[in-house]
Amino acid sequence: MHETFYDVMRRQGITRRSFLKYCSLAAGALGLSPAFAPQIAHAMENKPRIPVLWLHGLECTCCSESFIRSAHPLAKDVILSMISLDYDNVIMAAAGEAAQAIIEETIEKYDGNFILAVEGNAPLGEDGMYCITAGKPFVDELTRVSQHAKAIISWGSCASWGCVQAARPNPTRATPTHKIPGIADKPIIKVPGCPPISEVMTAVITYMLTFEKLPELDNQGRPKMFYSQRIHDKCYRRGHFDAGQFVEKFDDEGAKKGYCLYKVGCKGPTTYNACSTIRWNGGLSFPIQAGHPCIGCSEDGFWDKGGFYERLSDIKGFGIEANADEIGKTAALIVGGAVAVHAGASVIKRIASKGDDA
């Protein structure tokens, strides 16, 4: 017998009324109108838990760590009541042969009906032996499991883009999921970020369970609901940018007043993520709010796009008019020294004069 989310809540003494209230809150958390609450309720009441195989390649486990920090829903409720996390080598009780047997069993029992979640990526160098599982290359396991999955979630910037181990000169030939030779032709949902925001991770799962479909993706494969606007577009310090009020160096008067961090290197203008809307750790803060420039950790190749304290310049579509797909294809040009100062200064001048006009 399958246990549904609703069963669990009922058995814990939660009334139907409270359950429906939960569903409205869940709709709100997903940015949906309360009209969607009945749909969520229906999903919660009727669905068995979908099996998830969460494989780890070369990574640092920051995605898993982020996942367990989810405030709504709690990681506990995702694991006990929404999905069946049958394989995840970070938390699973089983080890060695007993662990590997789960992969075979899942493929046999749920062929085409489980989700493959990938954290980290596979190195192709040294015949794949820079990442070994059960004595064999991780890449072999990944490609094999992918053939039997319903869909693939690429958690974080490692699985989505390659991230730090793929930064120049990428010594292990670390390769993101969608570029692995032999990976199955299955839908791949990229959830980039180093790590992704906790509540974004759980929302992607909840969305799929609730609406029985993949979230709408942009042309790079990211859920539009979280990755189609720049951090800059919704930044609470945007007013200071527009007014030409900047932090010139850390801990100066501008820093204490919460001015814009653009001049100390903020990558918010070229970074597509939900940090300035959803924020982090239950909506508590995000890097810019705590005084550090955005380093652009959800962008492809962000490690190789210049120093984190060098300011962006010559950005096409610097305003709010360009869409995500256009900007995503345009690598921001980052330069140092006098050119940057000049370019930066002219941008500021333009903005300052715009401010005067207003």
Partner 1 sequence: MAIIETPNGFNLDDSGRRIVVDPVTRIEGHMRCEVNLDEDNFIRNAVSTGTMWRGLEVILKDRDPRDAWAFVQRICGVCTGTHALTSVRAVEDALNIDIPENANSIRNIMQLSLQVHDHLVHFYHLHALDWVNPVNALKADPRATSELQQKVSPSHAKSSPGYFRDIQTRIRRFIESGQLGPFKNGYWTNPAYLLPPEADLMALTHYLEALDFQKEIMTVRTIFGGKDTHPNWLVGGVPCAIDMDSPGAPINMERLNYVRSITERTIQFVKNVYVPDVIAIGGFYKSWLYGGGLASQNVMSYGDIPDRANDYSTENLMMPRGAIINGNLDEVHEIDLRDPDEIQEFVPHSWYKYPDGAKGLHPWDGITEAQYELGPNLIGTKTNIERIDEGGKYSWIKAPRWKGHAMEVGPLARYIIGYAKGDEYITDQINSTLRALDVPLPALFSTLGRTAARALESQWAAEKQLYFLDKLIANIKNGDSSTANTEKFDPSTWPSEIKGMGFTEAPRGALGHWIKIKDTKIENYQCVVPTTWNGSPRDAEGNIGAFEASLLDTKVEVPEEPVEILRTLHSFDPCLACSTHVMSPDGEELANVKVR
The Cα 191–Cα 142 span in angstroms is: 18
What is d(CA 38, CA 146) in angstroms, rounded to the nearest whole number? 33
Residue 194 lies near partner 1 (rule: CB under 8 A): yes
Under the binding rule (CB under 8 A), the answer on residue 76 touching partner 1 is yes
The CB-of-52 to partner 1 minimum distance in angstroms stands at: 9
338 in contact with partner 1 (CB under 8 A)? no
95 binds partner 1 (CB under 8 A): yes
Nearest approach, Cβ of 169 to partner 1 (angstroms)? Answer: 6
The one-letter amino acid code at 288 reads: I
Which of the residues 270 through 309 are near partner 1 (CB under 8 A)?
Answer: 275, 280-282, 284-292, 295, 297, 303, 307-309
Which residue bears the tokens 């029992």? 109
Using the rule CB under 8 A, is 257 a contact of partner 1?
yes
Q: Is 173 in the site for partner 1 (CB under 8 A)?
A: yes
Does 187 sit near partner 1 (CB under 8 A)?
no
- The residue from 20, 29, 68, 341 that contacts partner 1 (CB under 8 A) is 68
> With respect to partner 1, which residue has the nearer C-beta, 64 or 154?
64
For residues 70, 74, 75 and 79, what is the CA-based torsion angle, rounded to 10 degrees?
-150
Give the integer Cα–Cα distance in Å for 257 and 315.
26
Please, what is the minimum distance in Å from the beta carbon of residue 347 to partner 1?
Answer: 21
Distances (CA, A) of 347 to 75, 241, 340, 344, 352: 44, 11, 10, 5, 8
Q: Is 73 in the site for partner 1 (CB under 8 A)?
A: no
Locate tokens 């380093």: which residue? Answer: 295
Our finding on whether 8 is near partner 1 (CB under 8 A) is yes
Residue from 15, 33, 38, 65 binding partner 1 (CB under 8 A): 65
Residue 96 interacts with partner 1 (CB under 8 A)?
Answer: yes
CA-CA distance, 240 to 246, in Å (whole number)?
7
Token representation of residue 151:
């869909």
Of these, 88, 175, 272, 348, which contacts partner 1 (CB under 8 A)? 88
**What are the φ/ψ torsions at residue 104 (nearest 5 degrees)?**
-65, -45
Q: Is 220 in the site for partner 1 (CB under 8 A)?
A: no
* Residue at 322: amino acid letter: A
**CB-CB contact of 316 with 180 (8 Å):** no
Task: Return the residues of window 227-256 that contact partner 1 according to CB under 8 A.
Answer: 249-251, 255-256
Binding part of the chain for partner 1, among 15-23, 74-82, 180-188, 340-348 by CB under 8 A, reads 74-82
Closest distance of CB 294 from partner 1, Å: 9
- Candidate residues 6, 37, 49, 347; the one interacting with partner 1 per rule CB under 8 A: 49
Residues 6+ apart with CB under 8 A from 264: 247, 248, 249, 250, 293, 309, 311
Task: Please tell me whether residue 111 binds partner 1 under the rule CB under 8 A.
Answer: no
Omega within 30 of 0 (cis) for the link into 73? yes
Q: What distances in angstroms separate CA 95 from CA 88, 92, 120, 129, one per listed residue?
A: 10, 8, 20, 20
Count of residues touching partner 1 (by CB under 8 A): 104
Q: How far is the CB of 230 from partner 1 (least distance, A)?
A: 17
The yes or no reply on residue 21 touching partner 1 (CB under 8 A) is no
- What is the distance between the alpha carbons of residues 180 and 188, in angstroms, rounded to a whole number? 12
Q: Does 138 bind partner 1 (CB under 8 A)?
A: yes
